[in-house]
Amino acid sequence: MTLDPALTQMLSAADLRLLAAAGGAAPSLHNSQPWRFVPTPDGRGLAVYADTGRTVPLADPAGAAVHIAVGAAVFNLRVAAGKLDREPLVRLLPEVAEPELLAVFDLSRPAAAAVPFGRDLYPAIAARHTSREPFAQRDVPEAVIGELIDAARAEGVALAALEEEGVRRVVDLTTEAESRNAADPARTAETRAWLRPDDGTAEDGIPRSALGPQDHDARVPMREFSGHPPQGPAQPSRRFEALPQLCTLTTPGDGPLDWLRTGQALERVWLLATLHGVRLTIWHQAIEWPDTRWALRDPAAGPGHVQLVLRTGYGPPGAATPRRSVEETLGDRGPVA
């Protein structure tokens, strides 16, 4: 057998660790980290599986949030491939018969572009955090919003920056969904089950130090993770920005491919925002009820499925959350063709 001289070296153990760490740094619903990375038998690729043991069934019955999280991990892997000077050739949902196999990377070719996404996004992978703090009364400049719109569009997803009327509609819908969640003991218990102490022992879930305050004026509906009324030590409420800046991510369809694309767009937008010093919170509450999700759509924007609501602005970066070890996420779930 002659070896194609254009092929890269096989991935070393250090390469695989770098890839798994980058993938595993992605955001996920309640920091559930529903992914597993498996080297391909040729030694020059990586398969990405959904970890179905790490779902959040009441908040995410269809598994959309699992796919979004894995999509975000896939985007981080594409960025990390560039760090290894490899071209990431990705097939999404490559095996119909294997719905848990969400992506396969062929990393056997050298990188085609020196700066694949126009910016070096790699440092932002570790710097990106959810910020649940009040944001300043300072608009994100239109030029930056334009870059975020382009970044999402490059992944096949529409990012819309909402005008005041749209913001008020989405705030009302999120407030309604948050109060329904609060009144539902099973959902409150599910969310609370992902709360973790701040003693550094957790590998997943959300430590209390990463939770923000609630809005003193009850206008900005941040998710209450510890129940209503909050259990355990609650932070004193604080005054949030009067009118939050909100964006939506919308896809033409509403299936696994749309969700994977949403995750990639989310992470591409978030890494770019991080480089610009722009903070982000995800509001998922209104996505969790069919009627409030339906009403999130902008009637003027035509058909489409809102996948996520993003709150953007300037403020503290947010605390780091724990991750499962690379030994755990870099799995043995082969062989992958």
Ligand X SMILES: Cc1cc2nc3c(=O)[nH]c(=O)nc-3n(C[C@H](O)[C@H](O)[C@H](O)COP(=O)(O)O)c2cc1C
Q: List the one residue from 30, 268, 293, 311 that touches ligand X (CB under 6 A).
A: 30
Task: Provide the b/e sequence for 252-262 (b: ≥16 CB within 10 Å).
Answer: eebebbbbbbb
What's the closest the beta carbon of residue 262 comes to ligand X, in angstroms? 8
Q: List the one residue from 38, 321, 329, 336 that touches ligand X (CB under 6 A).
A: 321
Does 324 engage in binding with ligand X (CB under 6 A)?
A: no
Q: List the one residue from 34, 207, 221, 318 that touches ligand X (CB under 6 A).
A: 318
Q: List the one residue from 65, 149, 247, 271 that touches ligand X (CB under 6 A).
A: 65
Q: List the one residue from 78, 129, 261, 279 that touches ligand X (CB under 6 A).
A: 129
Stretch that binds ligand X, among 34-42, 47-55, 90-98, 128-136 (CB under 6 A): 128-136
Q: What is the largest CA-CA distance in the chain?
A: 70
Stretch that binds ligand X, among 117-125, 129-137, 147-155, 236-244 (CB under 6 A): 129-137
Q: List the one residue from 36, 78, 86, 132 that touches ligand X (CB under 6 A).
A: 132
Sign of torsion over alpha carbons 169, 152, 157, 129: negative
127 CB neighbour count, 10 Å cutoff: 12
As a whole number of angstroms, the distance between CA 121 and CA 78 comes to 10
Does 246 engage in binding with ligand X (CB under 6 A)?
A: no
Stretch that binds ligand X, among 145-153, 160-168, 179-187, 282-290 (CB under 6 A): 282-290
As a whole number of angstroms, the distance between CA 85 and CA 224 comes to 42
Stretch that binds ligand X, among 61-69, 117-125, 195-203, 289-297 (CB under 6 A): 61-69
Binding mask 155-174 for ligand X (x = CB under 6 A): --------------------
Stretch that binds ligand X, among 157-165, 226-234, 242-250, 279-287 (CB under 6 A): 279-287
Q: List the one residue from 37, 49, 135, 283 that touches ligand X (CB under 6 A).
A: 283
Task: Provide the b/e sequence for 235-249 (b: ≥16 CB within 10 Å).
Answer: eeeeebbeebbbbbb
Q: What is the pairing mode between strands 195-196 and 206-207?
A: parallel
What's the closest the beta carbon of residue 5 comes to ligand X, in angstroms? 40
Token readout for 228 is 């209503």
Cα 293 from chain centroid?
18
- Residue whose CB is less far from ligand X, 65 or 145: 65
| Footprint on this chain of ligand X (rule: CB under 6 A) | 27-31, 65, 68-69, 129-130, 132, 206, 223, 281-285, 318, 321
